[in-house]
Structure 1
Amino acid sequence: MARAIKIGDQWVGEGYPTYIVAEIGINHNGDIEIAKRLMNAAYLAGVDAVKFQKRTPELCVPPDQQNVMRETPWGYITYLEYRRKMEFGEAEYREIDAHARELGITWFASVWDEPSVDFLEAFNPVAYKIPSAALTDHGLLRKVRATGRPIILSTGMSTFEQIREAVKLLDADNLLICHTTSTYPCPPEELNLRMIQTLKREYPDIPVGYSGHEVGLIPSVVAVALGACLIERHITLDRAMWGSDQAASVEPGGFERLVKYIRVTEQALGDGVKRVYESELPSLRKLRRFGV
């Protein structure tokens, strides 16, 4: 049996209920009230946690992209300025933390650079997520490992060798690996859900999850059947809202269905031991002709 890690007060791994994360990410569009509405929707859907993204724009935007002009809700501005407007600071994260406590829901964040780790440490996070874009940032990986907190490693746009190198730098006893494809939205033929089983074979002692960017709910539910112990999907108030991640996100009603489908799937998978159920006995008595 694969081992588990503890996120907050919940164990996550094989043999435990699927840990469901609603990623708010940047779908709040820099508006704390939208962020709170998304937290409310996630809570009502029955998820285990919500996740944000924390960046230092000057470090995360490549130099050759910083002055590229872009149409945004704030007008025609540089990509760097757009990233600054999307970023929450200490005041907003204190509101997020207070609102999460009020709701009784867990929150944490992806960290895109080392100063963001220092920033979030003040909030005593239950875990850190390493985004796919930062999988090869070995300095960041070492920084996050040094916190001693549980780590979720996303593996999009990465080769298997890059994944292996990243895992070597992290604490395998406090790690969960997420299969993902970093296309928004991702076409079905590129989801490659069997990679969940490949990762489980490669790392039998590390829990494996799935971070989905597809349209619809079915692949995320299938991922549970394939052994994913954590499911992460982006949440949005409206897929037509402005923003790069909205189209690959799930609206509140869809998230409620996703949680329900995952819980039903967990029940339906069973334990693999063949038995005759009490509910079958009436059919057995009426229909079986031999060996009753």
Structure 2
Amino acid sequence: MGNIRVGNKTIGDDQPCYIVAEIGINHNGDIGLAKRLISVAVAAGCDAVKFQKRTVEVVYTSEELAKPRENPFGPTNGDLKYGLEFGQEEYEEIDAFCKSLKMAWFASPWDEGSVDFLEKFGVPVHKIASASLTDDNLLRHVRGTGKPVILSTGMSTYAEIDHAVEVLGKEDLVLMHATSTYPANYDELNLRAIPTMAERYGVPVGYSGHETGIPTSVCAAALGACCVERHITIDRASWGSDQAASLEPNGISRLVRDIRLWEQSKGDGVKRVYEREVPIIKKLRRVGAGV
């Protein structure tokens, strides 16, 4: 499996785990909150933050947008979708803020126009959401940018993933094992799919987690996930569909810390006696006892 360059970092089996803090729509349409979440990711030591980008009238039908849905922006589903969508001005502010903090950012485009929109900012990679895995036109448009691709595989069969990989090709491709329930139950995580997928597809495989806790995402890294992505929030009790499946500032900091401790601890697999063990041998082993 080859390594993939994303900005100034490399994703691959022999590289540190690439940790992505997904802001998604947890900013609730507030650019100030978005910047606070970026700062949380920076403080935690994440490698990148991720958003979602939609052309609302392309992704949703007029009937869907007209459906009643009480929300902070109005009485319809359309009010909600437009209220949560950042445009040119907000992304210019996000881009400038991330550059000032030396934090990489990218997004999941849900339509071809959103891909073109993100390309104007020179994002280092495009993330394809699980919901878009079967959208061949979008996959081809994303691949046409020449950028690396991260593809989430939640709610997808092997047949669907096989087809998506055929459309995209394996060059500069990272697959993300995921379970698309929010929050996901622990018996739905199926973390052993990570090495299985790596063997099946021969590309780096990461993990996009939607569970409430931290240890299982660390376990994903221990099972070989080259990239770990988790939603972040200021407060999991906040309004919004993704908040409950997100990590608060302390949680994302602990996740990064524990993955880095795993990387420090895993070693090279060769059993050896360390120099610091030598005096312990002299202190504790019985004199004259032989094998």
Same fold (TM over 0.5): yes
Structure 2 residue 271 is the aligned partner of structure 1 residue 282: no
User: What is residue 258 of structure 1 aligned with on the other side?
Assistant: 255
Tell me the distance in 2 between the aligned counterparts of 1:122 and 1:53.
15
Tell me the distance in 2 between the aligned counterparts of 1:275 and 1:64.
66
Q: C-alpha displacement at 1:288, in angstroms?
A: 3.3
Tell me the distance in 2 between the aligned counterparts of 1:147 and 1:186.
33
User: What is residue 227 of structure 1 aligned with on the other side?
Assistant: 224
Structure 2 residue 78 is the aligned partner of structure 1 residue 108: no
Instruction: Provide Cα deviations, 1:46-84, integer angstroms capped at 9, x if missing partner.
Output: 100000000111222256532221121124x22122101
* Percent identical: 57
Tell me the distance in 2 between the aligned counterparts of 1:270 and 1:160.
33
Structure 2 residue 194 is the aligned partner of structure 1 residue 196: yes
- Residue number among 122, 125, 132 corresponding to 2:123 in the alignment: 125
Q: C-alpha displacement at 1:121, in angstroms?
A: 0.9
What is the correspondence of 1:152-163 to structure 2 with a 5 Å cutoff? 152-163=150-161
Tell me the distance in 1 between the aligned counterparts of 2:290 and 2:153.
53
User: What is residue 207 of structure 1 aligned with on the other side?
Assistant: 204
Runs of 4 or more consecutive aligned structure 1 residues displaced over 6 Å after TM superposition: none
Tell me the distance in 1 between the aligned counterparts of 2:9 and 2:41.
17
Tell me the distance in 1 between the aligned counterparts of 2:111 and 2:290.
67
Amino acid at match of 1:23: E
- Contact 2:72/2:80 (<8 A) preserved: no
Instruction: Provide Cα deviations, 1:78-117, integer angstroms capped at 9, x if missing partner.
Output: 2122101110000000000000011110000011111101
Instruction: Provide Cα deviations, 1:118-176, integer angstroms capped at 9, x if missing partner.
Output: 11111011000000000000000000001000100000010011001000111312100
What is the correspondence of 1:1-292 to structure 2 with a 5 Å cutoff? 2-62=1-61, 65-75=64-74, 77-204=75-202, 206-289=203-286, 290-291=289-290
Tell me the distance in 2 between the aligned counterparts of 1:98 and 1:66.
32
Tell me the distance in 2 between the aligned counterparts of 1:27 and 1:137.
25
Question: 3-state SS of the aligned residue for 1:157?
Answer: coil
Tell me the distance in 2 between the aligned counterparts of 1:13 and 1:88.
32
Q: How does the TM-score come out when normalised to structure 2? A: 0.96
Q: Tell me how many residue pairs correspond in the alignment.
A: 289
RMSD of the alignment, in Å?
1.2
Amino acid at match of 2:218: V
Tell me the distance in 2 between the aligned counterparts of 1:53 and 1:186.
20
Amino acid at match of 1:49: A
Question: 3-state SS of the aligned residue for 1:276?
Answer: coil
C-alpha change, 1:63 and 1:160, in structure 2 (3 Å) is farther
Tell me the distance in 2 between the aligned counterparts of 1:7 and 1:33.
27
Question: 3-state SS of the aligned residue for 1:22?
Answer: strand
Q: How does the TM-score come out when normalised to structure 1? A: 0.96
Instruction: Provide Cα deviations, 1:222-263, integer angstroms capped at 9, x if missing partner.
Output: 001000010000010100110000000001111111110010
Question: 3-state SS of the aligned residue for 1:240?
Answer: coil
Instruction: Provide Cα deviations, 1:248-282, integer angstroms capped at 9, x if missing partner.
Output: 00011111111100100111111111111112212
Tell me the distance in 2 between the aligned counterparts of 1:62 and 1:203.
35
Tell me the distance in 2 between the aligned counterparts of 1:64 and 1:222.
43
- Contact 2:237/2:244 (<8 A) preserved: yes
The unaligned stretches of length 5 or more in structure 2 are none
Tell me the distance in 1 between the aligned counterparts of 2:282 and 2:163.
59
Tell me the distance in 2 between the aligned counterparts of 1:19 and 1:274.
28
